[in-house]
Amino acid sequence: MSKDKNLIDDLDIQHYEAEELGDDHTPTSLETPLRDDAFDLSEDQKIEIIQGHFKKIMETLGLDLTDESLSGTPYRVAKMYVKEIFKGLNPDNKPAARKFGNKYHYHDMVLEKNINVTSFCEHHFLPFVGKAHVAYISSGKVIGLSKINRIVDYYSRRPQVQERLTLQIADELETALDTRDIAVFIECQHLCVSTRGIKDRVSSTVTTDYRGKFKRQKTQQRFIDYILASTEMK
């Protein structure tokens, strides 16, 4: 009896710690936690396995999978996980950031603002959505503007923590551009905050990473001013 009670107590502690970690949205590492065998299975194999597991989840919830509306849901969810919302886990999907010489000798700030961010909290697998603003100062190399958007999307399309996402984007851009002069500003609303727990539908989370010249107050303020400046496209 004592052994059974100790087992229950241990489970209660584990559940409490899991809830506490999830509610605090605490990151545990800079790298996305992946097992060594993460890519041993093909995408089709992963879809088949996830489909089976998600079917069990739905059945456990009491849903009738013979209903026409629900019968295809396990497959749809599995395909969505592997091919869409978590496709950034697969390094084969990493965008190639080809460098070009800065032949026009532009050495001021380049800012790509209002980049859509759609990611998923790794603690509850619920979305967080918002905008990223990314800037750099060329050290002699540039990349295509669309590559910045693709880098943001690639690192967003995985179970994430916003702090880690911010740093991963900055690391990738620093490598791609051969410069420390990088700024990343992300603001998102988290559905795990708005739909569960505290259920706050108004608050948003801001994370930043300033490197190189962007650590200087004047350059950093100019970056923020550019973000806040309204642009009317006609």
* Nearest partner of 113 among 142, 141, 147, 148, judged by Cα: 148
Annotated active-site residue in 51, 121, 160, 168: 121
Look up 188 and say whether it is catalytic. no
- The CA distance from 153 to 45, in Å, is 24
Annotated active-site residue in 51, 122, 172, 188: 122
Amino acid found at 105:
H
- The CA distance from 82 to 5, in Å, is 40
Look up 15 and say whether it is catalytic. no
Look up 190 and say whether it is catalytic. yes
Annotated active-site residue in 123, 133, 172, 188: 123
Contact 106, 137 (CB under 8 A): no
Buried b vs exposed e over 148-162: b needs ≥16 C-beta within 10 Å? bbbbbbbbbbbbbbb
Buried b vs exposed e over 20-54: b needs ≥16 C-beta within 10 Å? eebeebebeeeebeeeeeeeeeeeeebbeebbeeb
Annotated active-site residue in 25, 51, 188, 190: 190
Look up 105 and say whether it is catalytic. no
Which residue spans within 122-217 are E strands per DSSP? 127-137, 141-143, 159-160, 182-190, 205-210
Look up 189 and say whether it is catalytic. no
Annotated active-site residue in 25, 51, 124, 160: 124
Annotated active-site residue in 51, 133, 160, 162: 162
Amino acid found at 128:
F
Which residues are tagged catalytic?
121-124, 162, 190, 192
